[in-house]
Amino acid sequence: METKNVMIVGVGGQGSLLASKLLGKLLLDAGYDVKVSEVHGMSQRGGSVVTYVRYGDKVYSPVIDKGEADVIVSFELLEAARWMEYLKPGGQIVTNIQQIDPMPVITGAMSYPEELVKKMTDEGVKVDALDCLKLAEEAGSSKAVNIVLMGRLSHYFDMPRDAWMKAMEAMVPAKFLDMNRKAFELGEKA
């Protein structure tokens, strides 16, 4: 199988590390060779962060380059647009519509671009946008945005639902499991 590429992008502190752990577990259990590349250190302090997840028969590079990603999962709208160039032609974006102002917007030096979903779609990219924060809160915690996104992402993976649940059980503390199951389902059905 040709190597598949999934990027998880967002703002430092949004919890993308759990999402990549869950994906890694899911794909390893399915028998693939997997590589996951993360960002630590200073960039985590509210900066733009990216995690690369690659899987297939044999994976070499730990990173994904421009024009290579099959799917980009984004925790924040501007970040989806920032990393869009990494998508291959015909690729899919799954994004939270939450907007977090970056410092140049906060200081008034720039403005947050408007209608980004439309602008991305206009470039011929498939965009699946949903309000993950609202759904996460509905599930019981604003911290479950990552699991809502994973639920939505499951549409674009050829993987049985049971496998997702199993991976989640392995990665999420037992006391939060029911809440996260609900978050997954809300994302899945949104």
Partner 1 sequence: MKELMLGNKAFARGLYEAGCCFVSSYPGTPSTEITEEAVKFDDIYCEWAPNEKVAMEAAFGASLAGRRVFCGMKHVGLNVAADPLYTMAYTGVNGGVIIGVADDPGMHSSQNEQDSRHHAIAAKVPMLEPSDSAESLEFVKIAYELSEEYDTPVIIKMCTRVAHSQSVVETSERVVPEKKAYEKNIPKYVMMPGNAIRRHPFVEERTRKLAAWAESAKINRVEKGGKELGIITSSTSYQYVKEVFGDSVSVLKLGMVNPLPVQLIKDFAASVDRLVVVEELDPIIENHCKALGLKVEGKDLLPLEGEFSQNLIRKALGKDVPAGKAVKDQIPMRPPVMCAGCPHRGLFYTLSKNKCTVLGDIGCYTLGAVAPLSSIDMTLCMGASLSAIHGYNIAGEGENEKKTVAVIGDSTFMHSGMTGLANIAYNQSNSTVIILDNSITGMTGHQQNPTTGYNIKGNPAGKIDLEALCRAMGFNRVRVVDPYDLKQCDEAVKEELAADEPSVIISRRPCALLKYVKHNAPLKVNTDKCIGCKSCMRIGCPAISIKAGKAHVDNTLCVGCGVCSQLCPVGAFE
Q: Applying CB under 8 A, does 78 fall inside the site for partner 1?
A: yes
C-alpha distances (whole Å) from 42 to each of 39, 49, 59 are 9, 10, 28
44 binds partner 1 (CB under 8 A): yes
Decide if 25 contacts 75 (C-beta within 8 A). Answer: no
Task: Examine residue 34 and tell whether it contacts partner 1 (CB under 8 A).
Answer: yes
Give residue 106's identity as a one-letter amino acid code: I
Least distance between partner 1 and beta carbon 91 (Å) = 8
Q: Is 42 in the site for partner 1 (CB under 8 A)?
A: yes
For residue 176, the 8-state DSSP code is G
Distance CA 30, CA 36 (A): 15
Selected range binding partner 1 among 121-129, 147-155, 161-169, 177-185, rule: CB under 8 A:
121-129
139 binds partner 1 (CB under 8 A): no
Kindly state the helix (H) or strand (E) to which residue 73 belongs, with its residue range. strand 69-74
**Strands 69-74 and 33-37, how do they pair?**
unpaired
Interface with partner 1 (CB under 8 A), residue from 62, 161, 169, 178: 62
Which residues of the chain form contacts with partner 1 (CB under 8 A)? 11-13, 24-25, 28, 33-48, 59-63, 65-69, 78-79, 81-82, 84-89, 91, 100-113, 116, 119-120, 123-125, 142
